[in-house]
Amino acid sequence: MTKNYDLVLLGGGTGGYVAAIRASQLGLKTAIVEKDALGGTCLHKGCIPTKTLLRSAEVYDQIKKSSAFGIDVSEVALRFEKIQERKQTIVEKLHHGIQQLMKKGKIDVYNGLGRMLGPSIFSPLPGTISVEFADGRENEILTSKNVILATGSRPRSLNGLVIDGIHVLTSDEALNLNECPKSIVIVGGGVIGVEWASMLADFGAAVTIVEYSDRIIPTEDKTLSITLARSLKKRGIKIVTSAQVLPETLEKNEGVTISAKIGDQLQTFSAEKMLVSVGRLPNTEDIGLSNTSIETDRGYIKTNAFGQTKESHIYAIGDVIGGLQLAHVASHEGIKAVEHLAGLPVEPLHSELVPRCIYTHPEIASIGLTEAQAKKEHVVKVGKVPFGAIGKALVYGDSEGFAKVVADKTTNDLLGIHIYGPHATDLIGEAAVAKLLDATPWELSEAIHPHPTLSEIIGEAALAVDGRAIHI
Ligand SMILES: Cc1cc2nc3c(=O)[nH]c(=O)nc-3n(C[C@H](O)[C@H](O)[C@H](O)COP(=O)(O)OP(=O)(O)OC[C@H]3O[C@@H](n4cnc5c(N)ncnc54)[C@H](O)[C@@H]3O)c2cc1C
């Protein structure tokens, strides 16, 4: 059967379903083809389930420290099955919410695997979608004026390192652990690796991070890396950097043993489980790209600043085009692609306006250039204020960390903001607005921050740029 649309989205993850809603708002007849579940990685295997587990880990840790708040608790027990149950309830609630939004927007959802056809009897242009259903129903054919590819990404492993889902896991399998492992080796100290390290350590696991680069979270500002490493080590997490894990040395018995080359030395790591968090791969293999002239770079779909591929009626957004693989990037790219194909004026998405969040304990959040990046092109001035100077952080019982503002000394342009500390991921929202509005540190400090709040640290750090901080 053939159905005709203005827009068909391949993939109903954060990028796909948000783009579909925007298309429906603009009056476009829209369909989503999703092979698994609406909400994609973020809802089912990423942002939401991991942050739910992290919240349980945080509560557990807080209870253990409650005597500092004058509250003595006699017995604390971890019930992992209840933690998993809570996670699932939240995921299902949000999943239901997205399904309702699809109904509200009159967006047709095809629960099957979509592939693009080349020019055919259905259309002289490539991009007609053939939908294959798992239950063997006859394929549906969807023709459309425009297509958005939003097929996302999946975990990558090291060459030769087989994910067995029992001893050797990626974040996909780790999410479904029904108990906290006693010990774990985490290969890769990027965002996903350090979040799991922080969480599992709070749950009581003995954690070792083995990282190829010379520091964990290597793409973030160096002070953030150093401070996080120090804090994780203080909590008993072992961190080994400049280490090349050798997949061929993997041995599995009761647990796992693997070796890594560190300089000329070999070091061996043993643990009950191993988590491989070494990046992601784009889902581009089986979507019919070869039937089009769409180009890829290391598997990632190449687009222009508005998401248009080499086939100008076919767009691509989100993880499948690479860059910053974040849910809020995917959704913004989705909205921009839809507005562009609908002929609305659109500003391209600038990566320096994208907040980056790491949900360790304490949290990390940043936007714009790191200090080192800024120094390559600017003469900079830096303001840094510790959370210890902020009353609310002491009240909150979590005053570890700092906020740092990096600005251009001559033009006063705000170049980067980096926060390490309690609720950093919520605080960065203000920095995103400041960057969008091209605010100067002075304007940021003129904004009145209510007292006592953690947000005062942003105003203080902005003042500190010109040596005007009040509380340090
Ligand atoms: C452990 C983890 C934690 C994360 N935490 C955060 C976080 O805290 N904050 C944040 O911003 N980001 C986070 N991310 C990243 C975030 O999940 C992704 O950036 C986001 O999901 C990308 O959205 P997307 O729409 O591009 O792709 P996806 O969400 O991956 O969606 C793609 C969808 O396409 C479907 N699909 C693929 N191929 C086909 C096909 N041929 N036919 C039909 N359907 C298809 C898939 O089933 C999937 O549902 C995390 C990721 C992971 C793995």
Q: What is the pTM of this model?
A: 0.97
Structural domain ending residue among the three candidates 309, 328, 351: 351
| Phi, psi for 112 (deg, rounded to 5) | -160, 180
- For residue 206, what are the CA distances in angstroms to 2, 209, 212, 243? 56, 10, 20, 19
Tell whether 469 is covered by a domain. no
Work out how many domains the chain is built from and give that number: 3
Tell whether 316 is covered by a domain. yes
CA angle 99, 279, 170 (to 5 degrees): 70
Q: Is the pLDDT of residue 425 over 80?
A: yes
CA of 41 to the centre of ligand 1 (A): 3
Q: What is the CATH number of the domain that holds 346?
A: 3.50.50.60
CA of 20 to the centre of ligand 1 (A): 15
- Residue 60 sits in the same domain as residue 164: no
| Phi, psi for 43 (deg, rounded to 5) | -80, -35
Tell whether 332 is covered by a domain. yes
Mean pLDDT of 152-168: 96
- Residue 311 sits in the same domain as residue 325: yes
CA of 49 to the centre of ligand 1 (A): 12
In tens, the pLDDT along 286-326 reads 999 999 999 999 999 999 999 999 999 999 999 999 999 99
Mean pLDDT of 47-54: 97
- Residue 303 sits in the same domain as residue 429: no
Q: Which atom of ligand 1 is nearest to the CA of 11?
A: 34
CA of 143 to the centre of ligand 1 (A): 25
Q: Which atom of ligand 1 is nearest to the CA of 286?
A: 41
Is the bond leading into 452 cis (omega within 30 degrees of zero)?
Answer: yes
> For 198-214, b where at least 16 C-beta lie within 10 A, e where not — what string?
bbbbbbbbbbbbbbbee
Token digits for 162? Answer: 């087989």
Residue 451 known to be catalytic: yes
> For 353-363, b where at least 16 C-beta lie within 10 A, e where not — what string?
ebbbbbbbbbb
| Phi, psi for 402 (deg, rounded to 5) | -160, 170
- For residue 459, what are the CA distances in angstroms to 125, 250, 343? 54, 50, 40
- Residue 272 sits in the same domain as residue 295: no
Tell whether 471 is covered by a domain. no
- Residue 18 sits in the same domain as residue 143: yes
Q: Is the pLDDT of residue 1 over 90?
A: no
Mean pLDDT of 4-16: 98
Place of tokens 């809020």: 328
Phi and psi based region of residue 234 (left: phi greater than 0; alpha: psi -120 to 50; beta: remaining): alpha
Structural domain ending residue among the three candidates 261, 278, 295: 278
Tell whether 356 is covered by a domain. no
Q: Cα(25)–Cα(19) distance, rounded to whole angstroms?
A: 10
- Residue 231 sits in the same domain as residue 300: no
Which residue from 151, 175, 277, 320 has its CB within 8 A of the most atoms of ligand 1, so it is best to mutate?
A: 151
The sign of the dihedral angle between the CA atoms of 247, 249, 252, 258 is: negative
Structural domain ending residue among the three candidates 243, 278, 313: 278
Q: Which atom of ligand 1 is nearest to the CA of 359?
A: 8
State which H helix or E strand residue 241 sits in: none
Instruction: Report helix, strand and coil shares of the chain as percent, to nearest 5.
Output: 35, 25, 40
**Band of pLDDT at residue 67, cut at 50, 70 and 90:** very high
Contact 406, 418 (CB under 8 A): yes
The sign of the dihedral angle between the CA atoms of 67, 70, 74, 76 is: negative
Q: Cα(148)–Cα(155) distance, rounded to whole angstroms?
A: 22
Q: Is 36 annotated as a binding residue?
A: no
Tell whether 10 is covered by a domain. yes
The one catalytic residue in 96, 378, 423, 451 is 451
Beta 168-169 vs 183-187: how paired, if at all? unpaired
Pocket flag, ligand 1, residue 35 (CB < 6 Å): yes
Pocket flag, ligand 1, residue 325 (CB < 6 Å): yes
Tell whether 165 is covered by a domain. yes
List the domain range (segments joined by +) for residue 55.
2-154+281-351
Residue nearest atom 17 in ligand 1 by C-alpha distance: 42
Q: What percentage of the chain exceeds 70 in pLDDT? A: 100
Q: Is 51 annotated as a binding residue?
A: yes
- Residue 345 sits in the same domain as residue 367: no
- Residue 367 sits in the same domain as residue 319: no
CA of 389 to the centre of ligand 1 (A): 39
Token digits for 131? Answer: 């939908």
The sign of the dihedral angle between the CA atoms of 61, 64, 67, 71 is: positive
Pocket flag, ligand 1, residue 16 (CB < 6 Å): yes
Q: Is 192 annotated as a binding residue?
A: yes
Which residue from 47, 156, 217, 332 has its CB within 8 A of the most atoms of ligand 1, so it is best to mutate?
A: 47
Give the Cβ contact number of residue 223 at 10 Å: 17
- Residue 150 sits in the same domain as residue 285: yes
Which residue from 41, 111, 173, 301 has its CB within 8 A of the most atoms of ligand 1, so it is best to mutate?
A: 41
Q: What angle in degrees, to the nearest 10, is found between the helix axes of 424-436 and 456-464?
A: 60
In tens, the pLDDT along 362-418 reads 999 999 999 999 999 999 999 999 999 999 999 999 999 999 999 999 999 999 999
DSSP 308: B
- For residue 227, what are the CA distances in angstroms to 209, 231, 384, 395? 15, 6, 13, 22
- For residue 337, what are the CA distances in angstroms to 133, 189, 199? 27, 33, 36
- Residue 163 sits in the same domain as residue 108: no
In tens, the pLDDT along 257-292 reads 999 999 999 999 999 999 999 999 999 999 999 999
Q: Which atom of ligand 1 is nearest to the CA of 319?
A: 26
Phi and psi based region of residue 53 (left: phi greater than 0; alpha: psi -120 to 50; beta: remaining): alpha
Q: Is 193 annotated as a binding residue?
A: yes
In tens, the pLDDT along 232-243 reads 999 999 999 999
What mean pLDDT, rounded, does the chain reach? 97
In tens, the pLDDT along 70-104 reads 999 988 999 999 999 999 999 999 999 999 999 99
Q: What is the CATH number of the domain that holds 458?
A: 3.30.390.30
Tell whether 470 is covered by a domain. no
Residue nearest atom 21 in ligand 1 by C-alpha distance: 42
- Residue 179 sits in the same domain as residue 309: no
- Residue 293 sits in the same domain as residue 242: no
